[in-house]
């Protein structure tokens, strides 16, 4: 009887394994639209800058397309990788993050630009390791929350451990890289994931109260950061000094009005607006496409983040906690970074160098954003596959015994050993048991 039960369960598991999944069409559509808009706007915003640097009018556009092509390759590789494989290596990611961040101080490898040492020389290109750190930290935090979710919600120790890892990375970013924007973003992502992972909110208050004075101190220690805060409050007080970037961005936004001056007709991108193709590309979009264009960009990011949060919620409901937390982390990353970039361009936040995901020109940012979206699409694929497998189980359980094939008739007793042979049991425990009228 046990052999027959085991054989039947194995045949059932084989049928379930034959069921594939589908990648989320909404995610693919929104990502493609944002990427196409990025190509158009990088081409429009970078021509004057490229000619001013004697690099050819389409230098930055070609560069952006090359990185986007490599990013699509990375996304495809991520889409073909099982989440359980990624989870197996997640425990090593904090060490890899520390190594990448420290490598910038190694002579011959670290590259200094604009007074900051934030890049690695990889021969054919320079790479900013903090972009990879964001994704790896999200994956590690997801694994940590999935393994210790009860401890995170009930004890101080687990919460402090997660915050300690993020704090160590932030400390290196502040001291060596002098990257305040990415540091604040990483802390915000970590806090958001802990909250979504079930941490007790009053318990989070003490670490927040400890971190805020430290961040304020780091701002006061650097004169240029203080100048940015002062210019943020009144950029017109020094329009040719500390307020130069923001005043030109605001003039670009004002010229756009409702429908913009037309694609390619921006004046501020003609060497007036610094970093028009990277940090301040939204100001060029506002000038050329107007309020309608900016609203469309915000709506696309809202759709991207909202869909990612929805996928994460569905994963958690099916007890696929690791995949769900990864989706939450990527949603927080995309939404927070786009919010900061848009806020800086509109004068709502102090000037900070964060790119607009999928739109701004930037090799490291484009590569890792594409990789993150590939991981998110893999989560959606496995979620759809699990849902279809559960639907098959429910359908078979609902069929009358006489109407079912002999090899698929439900057995009166399903042993724990038989249930353990199904890989679906490991991922969708409660739904699988309900399909057989049993409880976990």
Instruction: Transcribe 73-109 into DSSP letters.
Output: HHHHHHHTS-HHHHHHHGGGHHHHHHHHHHGGGSTTT
Report which of 390, 435, 392 is spatially closest to residue 414, judged by C-alpha positions: 435
Q: How far apart are CA 35 and CA 293, in angstroms?
A: 15
Q: How far apart are CA 431 and CA 416, in angstroms?
A: 16
Token pair of 41 as six digits: 């706007």
Phi, psi of 73 (to 5 degrees): -65, -45
Number of Cβ within a 10 Å radius of residue 205: 10
Q: How far apart are CA 277 and CA 437, in angstroms?
A: 59
**Confidence (pTM):** 0.87
pLDDT in tens, the chain (440 residues): 465 455 555 555 556 667 878 999 999 999 999 999 999 999 999 988 888 887 888 999 999 999 999 999 999 999 999 999 999 999 999 999 999 999 998 888 888 876 678 889 887 788 899 999 999 999 999 999 999 988 888 888 889 999 999 999 999 998 888 888 899 999 999 999 999 998 888 888 888 888 888 888 887 787 777 888 878 888 888 888 878 889 999 999 999 999 999 998 899 998 788 888 999 999 999 999 999 999 999 999 999 999 999 999 999 999 999 999 999 999 999 999 999 999 999 988 888 878 999 999 988 999 999 999 999 999 999 999 999 988 888 877 776 544 545 444 444 444 444 444 443 334 443 333 433 344 33
Handedness of CA 277, 279, 285, 286 (dihedral sign): negative
Residues 6+ apart with CB under 8 A from 263: 40, 44, 288, 289
Burial annotation 232-256 (CB, 10 A radius, 16+ → b, else e) = beebeeeeeebbbbbbbbbbbbebb
Helix 180-196 and helix 129-147, axial crossing angle in degrees, nearest 10: 20
What would you measure as the largest C-alpha separation in the chain, in angstroms?
Answer: 86
Instruction: List the domain boundaries for the chain.
Output: 91-357
């Amino acid at each position: 009887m046990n052999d027959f039960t085991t054989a039947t369960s194995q045949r059932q598991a084989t049928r379930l394994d034959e069921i594939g999944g589908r990648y989320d069409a909404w995610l693919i559509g929104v990502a493609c639209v944002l990427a196409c808009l990025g190509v158009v706007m990088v081409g429009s915003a970078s021509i004057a800058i490229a000619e001013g640097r004697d690099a050819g009018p389409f230098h930055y556009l070609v560069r952006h397309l090359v990185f986007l092509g490599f990013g699509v390759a990375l996304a495809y590789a991520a889409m073909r990788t099982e989440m359980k494989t990624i989870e197996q290596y997640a425990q090593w990611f904090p060490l890899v993050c520390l190594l990448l961040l420290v490598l910038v101080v190694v002579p011959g490898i670290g590259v200094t630009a604009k007074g900051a040492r934030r890049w690695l020389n990889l021969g054919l290109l320079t790479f900013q390791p903090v972009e990879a750190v964001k994704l790896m930290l999200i994956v590690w935090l997801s694994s940590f929350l999935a393994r210790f979710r009860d401890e995170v919600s009930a004890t101080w120790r687990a919460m402090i451990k997660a915050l300690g890892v993020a704090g160590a990375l932030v400390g290196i970013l502040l001291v060596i890289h002098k990257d305040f924007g990415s540091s604040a973003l990483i802390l915000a992502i970590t806090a958001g994931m802990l909250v979504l992972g079930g941490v007790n909110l009053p318990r989070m208050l003490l670490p927040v109260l400890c971190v805020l004075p430290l961040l304020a101190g780091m701002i006061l220690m650097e004169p240029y950061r203080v100048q940015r805060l002062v210019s943020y409050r009144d950029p017109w007080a020094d329009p040719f000094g500390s307020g130069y970037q923001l005043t030109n961005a605001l003039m670009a936004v004002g010229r756009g009005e409702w429908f913009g001056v037309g694609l390619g007709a921006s004046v501020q991108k003609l060497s007036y607006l610094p970093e028009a193709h990277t940090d301040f590309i939204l100001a060029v979009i506002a000038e050329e496409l107007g309020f309608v264009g900016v609203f469309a960009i915000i709506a696309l990011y809202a759709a991207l983040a909202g869909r990612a949060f929805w996928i994460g919620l569905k994963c958690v409901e099916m007890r696929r906690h690791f995949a769900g937390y990864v989706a939450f982390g990527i949603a927080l990353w995309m939404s927070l970074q786009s919010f900061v970039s848009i806020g800086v361009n509109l004068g709502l936040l102090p000037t900070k160098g964060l790119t607009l995901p999928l739109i701004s020109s930037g090799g490291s940012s484009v590569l890792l954003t594409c990789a993150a979206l590939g991981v998110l699409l893999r989560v959606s694929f496995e979620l759809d596959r699990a849902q279809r497998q559960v639907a098959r189980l429910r359908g078979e359980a609902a069929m009358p015994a006489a109407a079912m094939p002999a090899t698929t008739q439900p057995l009166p007793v399903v042993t724990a050993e038989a249930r353990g042979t199904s890989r679906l049991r490991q991922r969708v425990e409660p739904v699988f048991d309900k399909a057989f009228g049993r409880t976990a």
